[in-house]
Amino acid sequence: MDSLDKARITQLNNIQQKTHRTIDELRMEIQSTGLQKHSEIRKMLMDRYDLGFGDATMVVHFALQTDGQTAAEASQSSMEEILAGIYSGSKTELRPLHDLVMEKIDLLGETTITPKKGYFSLRHKRQFAMIGPGSKGRLEIGLNMKKVQGTDRLIVQPPGGMCQYKIFLSSETEVDGEFLNYLKTAYNASV
Protein backbone atom coordinates (compact mmCIF):
# COMPACT_ATOMS: atom_id res chain seq x y z
CA MET A 1 0.00 0.00 0.00
CA ASP A 2 1.53 3.32 -1.06
CA SER A 3 1.37 6.60 0.86
CA LEU A 4 -1.53 7.88 -1.27
CA ASP A 5 -3.66 4.85 -0.38
CA LYS A 6 -2.80 5.29 3.30
CA ALA A 7 -3.75 8.98 3.10
CA ARG A 8 -7.11 8.11 1.54
CA ILE A 9 -7.85 5.52 4.23
CA THR A 10 -6.97 8.03 6.94
CA GLN A 11 -9.16 10.67 5.30
CA LEU A 12 -12.10 8.26 5.03
CA ASN A 13 -11.72 7.25 8.69
CA ASN A 14 -11.68 10.92 9.69
CA ILE A 15 -14.81 11.60 7.61
CA GLN A 16 -16.64 8.74 9.32
CA GLN A 17 -15.66 10.11 12.74
CA LYS A 18 -16.79 13.64 11.83
CA THR A 19 -20.15 12.56 10.38
CA HIS A 20 -20.85 9.62 12.72
CA ARG A 21 -21.80 7.70 9.56
CA THR A 22 -20.07 4.98 7.60
CA ILE A 23 -19.14 5.72 4.01
CA ASP A 24 -21.86 3.27 2.88
CA GLU A 25 -24.43 5.13 5.01
CA LEU A 26 -23.32 8.42 3.45
CA ARG A 27 -23.58 6.86 -0.02
CA MET A 28 -27.15 5.68 0.67
CA GLU A 29 -28.05 9.11 2.06
CA ILE A 30 -26.72 10.79 -1.07
CA GLN A 31 -28.72 8.41 -3.27
CA SER A 32 -31.88 9.16 -1.29
CA THR A 33 -31.54 12.91 -1.98
CA GLY A 34 -31.84 12.40 -5.72
CA LEU A 35 -28.98 14.84 -6.31
CA GLN A 36 -26.88 14.00 -9.38
CA LYS A 37 -24.37 16.80 -9.86
CA HIS A 38 -21.03 16.55 -8.10
CA SER A 39 -21.17 20.18 -6.95
CA GLU A 40 -24.70 19.84 -5.52
CA ILE A 41 -23.83 16.69 -3.58
CA ARG A 42 -20.61 18.25 -2.28
CA LYS A 43 -22.48 21.37 -1.10
CA MET A 44 -25.12 19.23 0.64
CA LEU A 45 -22.41 17.30 2.50
CA MET A 46 -20.58 20.48 3.46
CA ASP A 47 -23.81 22.06 4.76
CA ARG A 48 -25.25 18.99 6.48
CA TYR A 49 -22.06 17.62 8.06
CA ASP A 50 -19.82 20.68 8.17
CA LEU A 51 -17.26 18.85 6.03
CA GLY A 52 -14.46 20.72 4.33
CA PHE A 53 -14.22 20.91 0.56
CA GLY A 54 -11.70 18.05 0.28
CA ASP A 55 -13.59 15.69 2.60
CA ALA A 56 -16.92 16.35 0.88
CA THR A 57 -15.28 15.80 -2.51
CA MET A 58 -13.86 12.47 -1.33
CA VAL A 59 -17.31 11.28 -0.23
CA VAL A 60 -18.80 12.33 -3.57
CA HIS A 61 -16.16 10.31 -5.42
CA PHE A 62 -17.08 7.23 -3.42
CA ALA A 63 -20.81 7.82 -3.83
CA LEU A 64 -20.49 8.28 -7.59
CA GLN A 65 -17.85 5.52 -7.79
CA THR A 66 -15.23 7.72 -9.39
CA ASP A 67 -11.57 7.36 -8.52
CA GLY A 68 -11.12 10.70 -6.78
CA GLN A 69 -8.09 11.57 -8.88
CA THR A 70 -9.39 12.03 -12.41
CA ALA A 71 -13.00 13.03 -11.76
CA ALA A 72 -12.29 16.75 -11.62
CA GLU A 73 -10.04 16.47 -14.66
CA ALA A 74 -12.71 14.55 -16.59
CA SER A 75 -15.32 17.18 -15.79
CA GLN A 76 -13.94 20.50 -16.97
CA SER A 77 -16.85 22.34 -15.37
CA SER A 78 -16.01 20.82 -11.97
CA MET A 79 -12.37 21.94 -12.13
CA GLU A 80 -13.48 25.30 -13.46
CA GLU A 81 -15.95 25.65 -10.56
CA ILE A 82 -13.20 24.83 -8.11
CA LEU A 83 -10.80 27.33 -9.66
CA ALA A 84 -13.51 29.99 -9.77
CA GLY A 85 -14.25 29.40 -6.09
CA ILE A 86 -10.63 29.59 -4.97
CA TYR A 87 -9.82 32.58 -7.17
CA SER A 88 -12.87 34.70 -6.44
CA GLY A 89 -13.32 38.19 -5.04
CA SER A 90 -10.05 39.95 -4.31
CA LYS A 91 -8.14 36.83 -5.42
CA THR A 92 -9.48 36.91 -9.02
CA GLU A 93 -6.42 38.83 -10.22
CA LEU A 94 -4.20 35.86 -9.26
CA ARG A 95 -5.91 33.41 -11.62
CA PRO A 96 -3.77 34.23 -14.73
CA LEU A 97 -0.62 33.77 -12.64
CA HIS A 98 -1.97 30.43 -11.34
CA ASP A 99 -2.69 29.34 -14.92
CA LEU A 100 0.84 30.26 -16.04
CA VAL A 101 2.44 28.28 -13.21
CA MET A 102 0.20 25.29 -14.00
CA GLU A 103 1.31 25.45 -17.67
CA LYS A 104 4.92 25.19 -16.49
CA ILE A 105 4.05 22.30 -14.16
CA ASP A 106 2.44 20.43 -17.07
CA LEU A 107 5.82 20.51 -18.83
CA LEU A 108 7.47 18.64 -15.95
CA GLY A 109 5.59 15.40 -16.58
CA GLU A 110 2.76 13.40 -15.08
CA THR A 111 1.14 15.28 -12.21
CA THR A 112 -1.96 14.59 -10.16
CA ILE A 113 -3.83 17.76 -9.20
CA THR A 114 -6.02 17.47 -6.13
CA PRO A 115 -8.15 20.42 -5.05
CA LYS A 116 -8.11 21.18 -1.36
CA LYS A 117 -9.85 23.89 0.58
CA GLY A 118 -8.25 27.07 -0.75
CA TYR A 119 -5.35 25.52 -2.73
CA PHE A 120 -4.28 22.67 -5.02
CA SER A 121 -2.02 19.80 -4.03
CA LEU A 122 0.34 18.64 -6.79
CA ARG A 123 1.70 15.10 -6.73
CA HIS A 124 4.05 13.05 -8.82
CA LYS A 125 4.70 9.98 -6.68
CA ARG A 126 4.34 12.16 -3.57
CA GLN A 127 3.24 15.73 -3.03
CA PHE A 128 5.88 18.03 -4.46
CA ALA A 129 4.03 21.35 -4.42
CA MET A 130 0.98 23.29 -3.32
CA ILE A 131 -0.40 26.30 -5.15
CA GLY A 132 -3.02 28.80 -4.13
CA PRO A 133 -3.71 32.41 -3.29
CA GLY A 134 -1.56 33.76 -0.49
CA SER A 135 -1.64 36.97 1.48
CA LYS A 136 -1.04 40.48 0.15
CA GLY A 137 -2.26 39.70 -3.37
CA ARG A 138 0.43 37.09 -4.01
CA LEU A 139 0.31 33.53 -5.31
CA GLU A 140 1.75 31.13 -2.74
CA ILE A 141 3.74 28.11 -3.89
CA GLY A 142 4.76 25.51 -1.31
CA LEU A 143 7.60 23.19 -2.36
CA ASN A 144 8.80 19.89 -0.95
CA MET A 145 12.50 19.24 -1.48
CA LYS A 146 15.48 18.65 0.73
CA LYS A 147 18.97 20.05 1.11
CA VAL A 148 18.29 23.23 -0.81
CA GLN A 149 19.69 26.46 0.61
CA GLY A 150 16.95 28.96 1.44
CA THR A 151 17.14 32.50 0.07
CA ASP A 152 15.17 35.71 0.41
CA ARG A 153 12.92 34.32 -2.31
CA LEU A 154 12.93 30.62 -1.31
CA ILE A 155 11.67 30.84 2.26
CA VAL A 156 12.50 27.89 4.51
CA GLN A 157 9.48 26.74 6.53
CA PRO A 158 9.51 25.35 10.09
CA PRO A 159 9.67 21.55 10.38
CA GLY A 160 6.35 19.68 10.51
CA GLY A 161 4.52 21.76 7.93
CA MET A 162 3.01 20.67 4.63
CA CYS A 163 6.01 22.00 2.65
CA GLN A 164 9.67 22.70 3.43
CA TYR A 165 9.80 25.91 1.37
CA LYS A 166 7.53 28.70 0.13
CA ILE A 167 7.80 31.12 -2.73
CA PHE A 168 5.43 34.04 -3.27
CA LEU A 169 4.75 35.32 -6.78
CA SER A 170 3.23 38.70 -7.60
CA SER A 171 3.74 38.87 -11.36
CA GLU A 172 4.33 36.69 -14.41
CA THR A 173 7.91 37.98 -14.67
CA GLU A 174 8.68 36.10 -11.44
CA VAL A 175 7.95 32.79 -13.22
CA ASP A 176 11.58 32.86 -14.31
CA GLY A 177 14.43 30.38 -14.67
CA GLU A 178 15.22 30.38 -10.95
CA PHE A 179 11.61 29.65 -10.00
CA LEU A 180 11.29 26.93 -12.66
CA ASN A 181 14.50 25.31 -11.39
CA TYR A 182 13.06 25.13 -7.85
CA LEU A 183 9.85 23.67 -9.25
CA LYS A 184 11.76 21.03 -11.23
CA THR A 185 13.90 20.16 -8.19
CA ALA A 186 10.78 19.59 -6.09
CA TYR A 187 9.15 17.53 -8.84
CA ASN A 188 12.23 15.34 -9.27
CA ALA A 189 12.49 14.85 -5.49
CA SER A 190 8.97 13.40 -5.36
CA VAL A 191 9.86 10.05 -6.93
Q: What is the pLDDT of residue 71?
A: 38
Q: pLDDT exceeding 90 applies to what percent of the chain? A: 38
Q: What is the 3-state secondary structure (H, E, C) of the chain?
A: CCHHHHHHHHHHHHHHHHHCCCHHHHHHHHHHHCCCCHHHHHHHHHHHHCCCHHHHHHHHHHHHCCCCCCHHHHCHHHHHHHHHHHCCHHHHHHHHHHHHHHHHHHCCCCCEEEEECCEEEEECCCEEEEEEECCCCCEEEEECCCCCCCCCCCEECCCCCCCCEEEEECCHHHCCHHHHHHHHHHHHHCC
pLDDT digit string (tens) for 71-89?
343 343 467 778 888 898 8
Greater model confidence, 78 or 166 = 166
Q: CA 73 to CA 76: how far, in whole Å?
A: 6
pLDDT digit string (tens) for 174-187?
999 999 999 999 99
pLDDT digit string (tens) for 15-61?
889 899 988 898 889 888 888 787 888 889 989 998 887 778 788 87
Q: What is the pLDDT of residue 66?
A: 63
